[in-house]
Structure 1
């Protein structure tokens, strides 16, 4: 069998891969350079710990490797492919290219900076990831007051980023069931029909967990209760309360009536 080879990618492609939420980002620069600045969620690799990344990381997990200028990262990327990893990338231009391509920083409020620090994010980075591989928007959507969520979105947060389970911020907003946070994400254009790694939608989660207010908002925004998982289950099948089931049935009936009238 032919051994897979790593791919060289630019910053735009790297952002897309990292934004998917599953990638392991490895920085192979020296500790001092890493401390001055690094890609959000990146792990510092050294000669002493590099083997632990190979041993502990699933071989099908995407691996993005970053160095100073994109040279030594290629040697590390080759090493990972030799160890059986199937989805390995070397960042062309290294961290310098990443830093140059970063948008101009937006001044954040003290409240948002405090929120970032409290939840393990780098100062001023609304698109970084913490040790739990989630973004500030995901955490804020679940926990924070709407004014702070609105500020995170306005500061340029990627509303389409996903966590390790393939869930966008809307899923986390449904967990917290803060109605205005759900509304803010919907108005910002988040995909209400997005499916996670289990082929489940935010509506399925809301219905299965009895979060009727979230169900009502998602249905009003056009969520599809008839969408099926790989097992053939729908949000209607998953409804854990009569209130959630009745909300979806009523909206389906209204949509049918509207379609017939037109």
Structure 2
């Protein structure tokens, strides 16, 4: 079987790739450079331990590799491609370009309030990175969407926090906003461009979660935004999953409106 060629990508595409919950991120610089600074979740690879990554990593797992400037990473990416990996990327510009681009973006970004900085530190994130990734691949926006208040969520969104980031369950910030059941926060995340129909690793949407968990306020905000009532996961719709009479009534009313409009 022919090897699938690896892709050389820039920083914008790399940020999307890094949002994949099962990404293997390899830093192929020397250990001292790695210790001084590296992209979150990266593992240090070298010719010495490369064989372990090649043999122990599932072939369907996406792999992103970076070096100093984007040259050496291509050789490593080629090795993964030739070993049967189907989704392999080499970062053009390497860590040096990545760090420079992030520094410029940080300089251009709105200044973070002391309240937000304190929140980031309390949640285990760097005080200046609104798109940092923590335990279970949770981001600051996910935490704030869950915990509130709405003003904190609004500031994160204004500072460039991503609404399409995914945690280890494949859930995006909109899902966490539904957990918090604050309709103002749900509306803020939706307005920022959240995908209403995004499905987590189990194939469920935020609407299904809100219905099954009896998050009536979040459910109403999702319905008002036009979330799909008809989607089914294993033969069950959000209506079938309603966990409370209030949620059931909201879903039935929305279904009646949908039928009347068709």
Structure 1 residues 34 and 155, CA gap change in structure 2 (3 angstroms): farther
Q: Per-residue CA shift, 1:63-120, capped at 9, x if unaligned?
A: 1111101112122223333444321111111012223333243322222223223333
Structure 2 gaps, min length 5: none
Any conservation in 2 of the 1:41–1:128 contact (CA below 8 Å)? no
Residues 2-81 of structure 1: matches in 2 within 5 Å? 2-45=2-45, 50=50, 53-54=53-54, 57-81=57-81
Task: Give the RMSD, CA atoms, in angstroms.
Answer: 2.4
* Aligned counterparts of 2:114 and 2:45: Cα–Cα separation in 1: 32
The size of the alignment, in residue pairs, is 258
Q: After the TM superposition, which of the residue ranges 64-73 and 193-202 deviates more from structure 2?
A: 193-202
4+ long deviations beyond 6 Å: none
1:126 alignment partner, SS class? coil
Any conservation in 1 of the 2:174–2:194 contact (CA below 8 Å)? yes
Q: Match for residue 154 of structure 1?
A: 158
Shift of 1:135: 1.8
* Aligned counterparts of 2:43 and 2:197: Cα–Cα separation in 1: 32
* Aligned counterparts of 1:117 and 1:79: Cα–Cα separation in 2: 39
Q: Per-residue CA shift, 1:5-30, capped at 9, x if unaligned?
A: 32222222212211233322222223
Any conservation in 1 of the 2:181–2:216 contact (CA below 8 Å)? no
Shift of 1:52: 5.1
* Aligned counterparts of 1:153 and 1:251: Cα–Cα separation in 2: 29
Structure 1 residues 56 and 201, CA gap change in structure 2 (3 angstroms): same
* Aligned counterparts of 2:27 and 2:131: Cα–Cα separation in 1: 17
2:64 alignment partner, SS class? strand
Residues 168-207 of structure 1: matches in 2 within 5 Å? 168-207=172-211
Any conservation in 1 of the 2:59–2:84 contact (CA below 8 Å)? yes
2:255 alignment partner, SS class? helix
Is 1:244 aligned to residue 232 of structure 2? Answer: no
Q: Match for residue 215 of structure 2?
A: 211
* Aligned counterparts of 1:52 and 1:177: Cα–Cα separation in 2: 44
1:40 alignment partner, SS class? coil
* Aligned counterparts of 2:141 and 2:205: Cα–Cα separation in 1: 18
Q: Per-residue CA shift, 1:45-74, capped at 9, x if unaligned?
A: 356655554455432121111110111212
Q: Per-residue CA shift, 1:110-155, capped at 9, x if unaligned?
A: 2222322333323311112124222211122112322211111111
Shift of 1:188: 1.8
1:132 alignment partner, SS class? helix
* Aligned counterparts of 2:116 and 2:52: Cα–Cα separation in 1: 35
Shift of 1:212: 1.6
Q: After the TM superposition, which of the residue ranges 25-34 and 145-154 deviates more from structure 2?
A: 25-34
